[in-house]
Structure 1
């Protein structure tokens, strides 16, 4: 569940110093038999302070690329993203949130609602998935999201095209189309993890430890086969196709998406390798 919330909501790095935090994130080079080239860069979406993410190798790759590909291109337009969320999330006549979760988990939900200032009936006009993400984001620092590496990469693109692999509407639409039973699983996972302050994934990202990140993608909600297909594997499969199309069109994209999407046999590096490309970890 941690990687998923990191991709679509927030993941905070706990720190007290205002100085940029040193990072050595993972980077891959993708090469095709006809000279096609791309780079894959795993990002983190939120940070309590700026991150020194642009290592020499990352900088060279980004400077060489002629296109930047990201999950959502308009991250800085917070009003537009919020409007998209509100439009998809709205659903009148929903039952109290406590009735959308198993009885043993209701005390934990009540504690979460109290800590975030919400009431049990405050989500009567909101889908379960949206209620879950709202609770997951409660108390999050908007400045932390503005320190996300995705935004920094987009800013560094300059005049080069920034291409969306997904966009906010499609990304949030993945949740909106989940069966209600799976939306309730999402809510349960948010409630379960609310008391956790685990920063292991953030530490793993800073170190470029993909083995540790891959382990996280096998836990919690992503251990559910149906949800894993919709929210992880299926997305990676679609993105792989779009990256291949870009390379075949003669572009050299720098692909910057959440680091979890790079992990394991269902990650982007593995899927591109399965398509016949040479994929090399360069950092």
Structure 2
């Protein structure tokens, strides 16, 4: 679950900002996937790049091809653009997280998971009352941040935003809209999210290693397995966190691709795979989408 959140949600994870990560000098042997989007004339109109929102130090992912494509792009397209404004992200989260609190959080956690919940609560160094006042989705994301392996400062999206300083950046959702997706979930789905985060937190390091290796090596089958497993086997959550967002993004990208400026689209890698992935949705709209890395 922690790994899956790194493929799908930026806004809360971005609250943990710190220092700038070093850029590795050597190009890795295996590389993350990049797709070219071409129009009817066969000319490239943009590119898709699946990202991971937090990485351990010194994970190599840049390549000569990536740098060439970034140089050709006119616009960077990301999920959330204002990743350095932690104060605003915090205010946005607080405004949504506490407006409809439920019973004490421990009562919303499955009995078998309560010992692990108590461990995470101790690691969070937050007063129990702060968690008790949160909606279930907000507590889930907060606990996921506690168990997170890797740093958002090493996140690919954040590095690309630094590359595009002074250039056009398009935001597909923004923090308010992204967190509102969770806020609108029915309580039963929020509790499913909460309990999944707690259950899988003990294995967060193993999950993170699998995620990073699948993404770094361009293993789409591995990414798809992470995408479709666990909580996202629930149809309601799959629709809310992946499918519905991808359809909205594809509509937005179609408009961007019709303009002269060529976009480089960098969003969570989980949005790139399967029948509801962006490459498939754009192909259905008449574009030729081919993997170029």
1:14 is aligned to: none
**Matching of residue 186 in structure 1 with residue 193 in structure 2:** yes
1:243 is aligned to: 253
Q: Which stretch of structure 1 is more off in the superposition, 86-95 or 251-260?
A: 86-95
Q: How many Å apart are 1:152 and its aligned residue? A: 0.9
Query: CA RMSD for the aligned pairs?
Result: 2.3
2:109 is aligned to: 101
1:278 is aligned to: 288
1:210 aligns with one of 217, 220, 239: 220
Asked if 2 retains the 8 angstrom alpha-carbon contact of 1:96 and 1:124, the reply is yes
CA deviations 1:38-91 (Å, max 9, x no partner) are 100111111222544331111111111111100000112122112211111123
> How many residues are paired up?
277
Aligned ranges for residues 251-270 of structure 1 at < 5 Å?
Answer: 251-270=261-280
**Matching of residue 68 in structure 1 with residue 82 in structure 2:** no
5+ long unaligned stretches in structure 2:
15-20
2:36 aligns with one of 29, 40, 54: 29
Match of 2:228, SS state, is coil
Asked if 2 retains the 8 angstrom alpha-carbon contact of 1:69 and 1:165, the reply is yes
Distance 1:19 1:164, change over 3 A: closer
2:158 aligns with one of 141, 151, 154: 151
Asked if 2 retains the 8 angstrom alpha-carbon contact of 1:94 and 1:123, the reply is no
Distance 1:50 1:82, change over 3 A: farther
1:134 is aligned to: 142
Q: Which stretch of structure 1 is more off in the superposition, 48-57 or 253-262?
A: 48-57
Please give the alpha-carbon distance, in whole angstroms, between the structure 1 residues aligned to 2:112 and 2:195. Answer: 10
Q: Scaled by the length of structure 1, what TM-score is found? A: 0.90
Distance 1:130 1:154, change over 3 A: same
Q: Scaled by the length of structure 2, what TM-score is found? A: 0.87
Asked if 2 retains the 8 angstrom alpha-carbon contact of 1:108 and 1:191, the reply is yes
CA deviations 1:166-219 (Å, max 9, x no partner) are 111100110011111111001001111110122101111111111110011111
5+ long unaligned stretches in structure 1:
12-16
Distance 1:7 1:140, change over 3 A: same
Asked if 2 retains the 8 angstrom alpha-carbon contact of 1:214 and 1:260, the reply is yes
1:4 is aligned to: 5
